[in-house]
Amino acid sequence: MKKLAILGSTGNIGTQTLEVVDKYPNKLKVIALSANSDIETLEKQIKKYKPLAVGVANPQKAKLLEKKVSIPVFSGKKANLEIVRMKKYDTLINSVVSLAGIEATLEGIKLKKNVALANKETLVAAGEIVMKEAQKNGVMIMPIDSEHSALFQCLNGEKSEEIHRMIITCSGGALIDKKLEELKNISLEDALGHKTWSMGQKITIDSATLMNKGFEVIEAMWLYDLPIEKIKVVVHPQSIIHSMIEYSDGSIMAQMSEPSMKLPIQYALSYPERWSSPLKRFDFSKDLTFQEPDLERFPCLKYAFKAAHEMGTLPAAMNSANDFMVEQFLNKKCKYLDIARVIKKVMDNHQNKKNPNLADIQEAIKKAQQEAKKFLFEGK
Ligand code: MG
């Protein structure tokens, strides 16, 4: 029986993780949950899964929930850390959105918990530190993302020295067919209309700018200890091949399935076993097509490759500027093309610090956010 602490349990990945728990109640047990502010959903989850404690990042919401339930409610910025420090679970699932997830992942690693990671920012902003800690503590990080789960599966039984390159597939996002001219006046609704994946709003916008793919490239570099030069992105609109590894002899291993996040979630929890799943089976009458990503229309992917080359605090600054800009776009405070424009300015202005510690990264995150705000609203 795996005992789970799920950070971000009311979000898209969190709720799908709980659906996997529903299917395997004899193999998976919920010990703790946390949410940002959606206490209505969290209260329902408490009734159903009977965790020993929960965390709520929003202090006002935490207070409201505390009055309604009889278990401890950790509150505020440190709520996730309090959950991670609980003794009675063995597997930490981190599906917190944005940069708030980094400290929780690091703490879980230090406590030698199994870590299933859906929080991209952990590796994008702090990959160097996180992987060093994981190695030191003998912790394997299981990815909860279709691409990294695919790469993990394609690596099974192979030697990493024999990898020629990793090929990360990309649906292309909601705007793949738009011309540059059309991208100028893209509405929020257009950018949120993803064709093959249904995900949270933040990641759907990251998908529409290809920044999500840029994040995944950086994550793959850290997770599989591969130089960035050996990682390639290919657009594959059907989202059936989730990623591939080409070996030195020219063989390419691919992992395929109908697109569903439940598969990588379940595999992260079942590994090294495979459990049956109700996943729709692939229909071989479908065409699979590939194309090169267009870095002119979607420059965020180019910026992510640059950040991966330079490392240091630059990926954290890029990530932070992106977090800020996507939030503005979701609140209709800026245009779609402003996202990439401001990220580039923040990166160009960033004084990169190599071999950063966590404080350096947190400083870079704070500064990049202030700069993005300045560039967007003051035009500086
Ligand atoms: Mg993905």
DSSP letter assigned to residue 318: H
Q: Is the pLDDT of residue 100 over 90?
A: no
Residue ranges of domains in the chain? 2-143, 148-309, 311-323+330-380
Over the chain, what is the mean pLDDT? 95
Interval between CA 239 and ligand 1 midpoint (Å): 10
pLDDT in tens, 32-52: 999 999 999 999 999 999 999
Pairing status of strand 241-247 against strand 252-256: antiparallel
Interval between CA 119 and ligand 1 midpoint (Å): 11
| Cα–Cα dist 70/82, whole Å | 17
**3-state class of 46 per DSSP?**
helix
Which conformational region is residue 204 in: left (phi greater than 0), alpha (psi within -120 to 50 degrees), or beta? alpha
Average pLDDT of the residues in 260-286: 95
Interval between CA 146 and ligand 1 midpoint (Å): 5
Interval between CA 377 and ligand 1 midpoint (Å): 31
CATH H superfamily, domain 2-143: NAD(P)-binding Rossmann-like Domain (3.40.50.720)
This prediction's pTM? 0.94
Quote the distance between the C-alpha of residue 311 and its chain's center.
Answer: 18
Q: Which amino acid is at 114?
A: N
| Cα–Cα dist 252/158, whole Å | 12
Interval between CA 59 and ligand 1 midpoint (Å): 31
**How many DSSP H helices and E strands does the chain contain?**
16, 11
Interval between CA 379 and ligand 1 midpoint (Å): 33
Interval between CA 171 and ligand 1 midpoint (Å): 9
Interval between CA 238 and ligand 1 midpoint (Å): 13
CA 205-206-211 angle, to 5 degrees, is: 150
Instruction: Work out the pLDDT band at 380, boundaries 50, 70, 90.
Output: low
Percent of the chain scored above 70 by pLDDT?
A: 100
pLDDT in tens, 359-369: 999 999 999 99
Interval between CA 208 and ligand 1 midpoint (Å): 12
pLDDT in tens, 235-245: 999 999 999 99
- Is 91:4 a contact under the CB 8 Å cutoff? yes
Interval between CA 288 and ligand 1 midpoint (Å): 18
- Positive or negative: CA dihedral 159, 160, 163, 165: positive
Interval between CA 201 and ligand 1 midpoint (Å): 14
| The listed CATH number (1.10.1740.10, 3.40.50.300, 3.30.210.10, 1.10.260.40) that belongs to domain 311-323+330-380 | 1.10.1740.10
Interval between CA 147 and ligand 1 midpoint (Å): 5
Instruction: Work out the pLDDT band at 379, boundaries 50, 70, 90.
Output: confident
Where is pLDDT greater, at 73 or 202? 73
Token pair for 283: 């229909």
Q: Is the pLDDT of residue 223 over 90?
A: yes
Average pLDDT of the residues in 217-232: 97
Shared fold status for 2-143 and 311-323+330-380: no
Instruction: Work out the pLDDT band at 99, boundaries 50, 70, 90.
Output: confident
Interval between CA 242 and ligand 1 midpoint (Å): 8
pLDDT in tens, 303-342: 999 999 999 999 999 999 999 999 999 999 999 999 999 9
| Cα–Cα dist 232/46, whole Å | 43
Interval between CA 149 and ligand 1 midpoint (Å): 9
For 345, counting Cβ atoms within 10 Å of its Cβ (0-12 exposed, 13-18 middle, 19+ buried), the class is middle
**3-state class of 273 per DSSP?**
coil
Interval between CA 183 and ligand 1 midpoint (Å): 23
Instruction: State residue 287's pLDDT score.
Output: 94
| Cα–Cα dist 101/368, whole Å | 18
**3-state class of 265 per DSSP?**
helix
Average pLDDT of the residues in 215-232: 97
Average pLDDT of the residues in 288-292: 97
Where is pLDDT greater, at 378 or 7? 7
**3-state class of 238 per DSSP?**
coil
Interval between CA 60 and ligand 1 midpoint (Å): 33
Q: Is the pLDDT of residue 277 over 90?
A: yes
Instruction: Work out the pLDDT band at 121, boundaries 50, 70, 90.
Output: confident
- Is 363:357 a contact under the CB 8 Å cutoff? no
Rg (the chain; Cα; Å): 20
Interval between CA 324 and ligand 1 midpoint (Å): 20
| 323: nearest Cα among 146, 130, 172, 97 | 97
- Is 268:148 a contact under the CB 8 Å cutoff? no
Q: Compute φ and ψ for 22, nearest 5 degrees.
A: -60, -35
My answer on whether omega of the bond before 272 falls inside 30° of 0, hence cis, is yes
Interval between CA 266 and ligand 1 midpoint (Å): 15
Interval between CA 207 and ligand 1 midpoint (Å): 9
Average pLDDT of the residues in 365-375: 97
Interval between CA 169 and ligand 1 midpoint (Å): 9
Average pLDDT of the residues in 200-209: 92
Q: At what angle do helices 211-223 and 201-209 cross, to 10 degrees?
A: 90
